[in-house]
Amino acid sequence: MYFYSAQVESINRDRLITNERLLQNAVTRSLADDISQHQESLRMMLANLSSALQVASGGDFTAEHVEAPELRALLENFVSSSDDLAYATLLNSEGKGISAGRIAADAFLQRELERGYAAAREGRIYNGQALAVGNGKSSRTVVLVSAPVMVGGRFVGMIGSVVDLQFLIRRLQEVSRGGLIPYVVDSEGRLVAGAGPEYATGQDMRDLEIVRSFVELGSKAQMVAATREFNITRGKTTIAMLGTCSPVTNLDWAVVVQKPRSEAYRGVYEMQRTGRILAIMAIALSIAISVFAARRITSPLEVLTLSSRAIARGDFSQRVNLKSRTEIGELAHTFNIMSQELEHFVHDLKRAATENRELFMGSIQMLAGAVDEKDPYTRGHSDRVTRYSVLIAREMGIYEDYIETVRISAQLHDVGKIGIEDRILKKPGALTPEEFDIMKTHTTKGANILRPVAQLKDMIPGIELHHESLDGRGYPHGLKGDDIPLLPRIIAVADTFDALTTNRPYQHAHTPEEALRIIHSLSGKRLDPTAVAALTAIYERGEIHVQRPTPMAAAATAAAVATPAASGPVESEIPSDPASVVQASRV
């Protein structure tokens, strides 16, 4: 019986040690993924800011333009959009520019900005060293992230943002409450951030074997997460540790958590001691008591093993239900605490992903709103076209993931108008042929604005091609029939419906019924018949509510329709030929 107990202990000891390592690995990977996602979100924000700055400045960052109020406003809005952004600067190719933020650039941060500027001139994104700025309670750990601004493959400037790492320190402090010692180091073994005051930013951590191994592996360290046993020396005392190092995929950083082996394997040692004592007592008392004692040991261990396997598979909702006051019960309680913390980490990661998505959608809506605000007559146009497009796509039975593409593309379909001069965009009367040609460039301008953002590549056809026509008379490329993708076909119908049912300086609003009759006359000629049928169906079910024009507006509409269309791209009247509504519309 003693031999049997020893074998059971040995098997379960190895499993518990494995599970302790898996738990450490899960914690470090969760932190590394959180940092990586935060970095990816920041790079996307920098790309959006770069596009907005290029559009607002026309790509001109020379000394007389770089300090323009609209560029400064964009920079200030960028800093205020997130509590994690402490400072931002825009420098042109001459090293001159503007900045905004809650901190001042000291000598250390200035050196980092110089390194970031040198990297930008070489066309590289720069992730700087962690720095401590401020004193006392106002002290903050920050890091510089910069990116080049390129126009036509030519370097025109640099955008630099200083990220406050307080969010990372809070996460590390949450992990430390579970008994782990977490910290983050860079590729040279310097401390980026730690959970407690005993670690200082920039401290050399290479005296720890686990950090030294990460530094020596270099680029190979980005391919593997390592858990190992090692020793640390504090004075004359040597402490045996168990630690895990997980690299951050898009940074030369690593997340490290460590724990004294006596704490990490405490449950194992207690299990061994208790199991052997119970086995000896069972042998001394009786066969019956020995069987009872063996079951008392093995049954809880089986429950622990099953729960540990569930946690290792990623099911952090599992709990160990053991009503025992022995060391095994304490071990089960420890497992429950750790699994609960891991469940919280996963929840926080999902919440961070949701917040990043909301921030992404907010940026899109802000950009679309900026376009609509340029022309008071089209205010709310992007939101309405988005709503109509989504309803049409759902009516057509399109799968939900693609509907999200429709939503974003429709919201940004007129983003190129941010690059159209106000004298043309807000002109109340007829456009000259030259002005109309300029107006038509808003489709390609919009596509060019979004093309640098890889996450928006699927939305570009809806922005660039929503003025194409099935009969080949559209713009900018004159595509015909099936050459036009489904996405711009949907947006074209929604765009036309909103153009016909809202007042413009060059036309009065039609009633929804009049607008539908005009759209049906264009079905199969310029507009997609399936999308037109979907629009008609959702309107007839009452899912679209359009404010009807006043009687005076309706009378003006009838008079405008009775008036022959002027030659050229005249847009101050509603053309008598319904098919020319789409061609003449500026929306």
CB-CB contact of 191 with 176 (8 Å) = no
Mean pLDDT of 65-79: 88
Mean pLDDT of 220-225: 60
pLDDT of 493: 96
Q: Give the pLDDT confidence of 90-106 residue by residue, as tens digits.
A: 998 888 889 998 888 88
pLDDT of 562: 35
**Cα separation of 11 and 43, whole Å?**
48
pLDDT of 318: 66
Whether pLDDT at 356 is above 70: no
The DSSP 8-state label assigned to residue 575 in this structure reads -
Cα 576 from chain centroid? 47
**Cα separation of 293 and 307, whole Å?**
22
pLDDT of 21: 84
pLDDT of 570: 31
**Cα separation of 250 and 40, whole Å?**
8
Closest CA to 527 of 443, 447, 467, 478: 467
Q: 58-164 with 168-264: one CATH topology?
A: yes
Average pLDDT in the chain = 81
Signed CA dihedral, 513, 518, 521, 523: sign only: negative
Q: Bridge-partner residues for 244, per DSSP? A: 227, 257
Q: Give the pLDDT confidence of 10-51 residue by residue, as tens digits.
A: 777 777 778 888 888 888 888 988 888 888 888 888 889 888
Whether pLDDT at 305 is above 80: no
Give the H/E segment covering residue 298.
helix 287-312
**pLDDT bracket for residue 560 (50, 70, 90):** very low
pLDDT of 553: 42
Cα 186 from chain centroid? 23
Tell me the two tokens of residue 522: 């264009």
Q: Give the pLDDT confidence of 464-496 residue by residue, as tens digits.
A: 999 999 999 999 999 999 999 999 999 999 999
**Cα separation of 33 and 42, whole Å?**
14
Amino acid at 104: A
CB-CB contact of 120 with 126 (8 Å) = yes
Percent of the chain with pLDDT over 70: 81
**pLDDT bracket for residue 418 (50, 70, 90):** confident
CB-based contacts of 78: which residues, under 8 Å, 6+ apart?
A: 45, 49, 85, 88, 100, 161
Whether pLDDT at 311 is above 80: no
pLDDT of 201: 85
**Cα separation of 409 and 505, whole Å?**
26
pLDDT of 572: 29
CB-based contacts of 462: which residues, under 8 Å, 6+ apart?
A: 405, 406, 409, 410, 413, 485, 487, 488, 490, 491
Whether pLDDT at 428 is above 90: no
Q: Edge-to-edge, what's the strand order for the sheet holding 97-101?
A: 97-101, 85-92, 154-164, 140-151, 126-133
Whether pLDDT at 584 is above 50: no
Q: Give the pLDDT confidence of 242-290 residue by residue, as tens digits.
A: 899 888 877 888 999 988 888 877 777 777 677 678 778 878 887 888 7
CB-CB contact of 133 with 142 (8 Å) = yes
pLDDT of 360: 65
CB-based contacts of 479: which residues, under 8 Å, 6+ apart?
A: 465, 468, 472
Q: Could you tell me the residue ranges of all domains in the chain?
A: 2-11+266-341, 58-164, 168-264, 379-584
Place of tokens 């250390």: 108
CB-based contacts of 397: which residues, under 8 Å, 6+ apart?
A: none
Tell me, which fold does domain 168-264 have in CATH? Answer: Beta-Lactamase (3.30.450)
Phi and psi at 92, nearest 5°, equal -85, -175
Whether pLDDT at 406 is above 90: yes
pLDDT of 184: 92
Q: Looking at the structure, give the CATH architecture of the domain made up of residues 58-164.
A: 2-Layer Sandwich (3.30)
Q: Give the pLDDT confidence of 52-67 residue by residue, as tens digits.
A: 888 888 888 887 788 8
Mean pLDDT of 223-238: 80
By CB neighbour count within 10 A (0-12 exposed, 13-18 middle, 19+ buried), where does 81 fall?
middle
pLDDT of 582: 41
Tell me, which fold does domain 379-584 have in CATH? Answer: Hypothetical protein af1432 (1.10.3210)
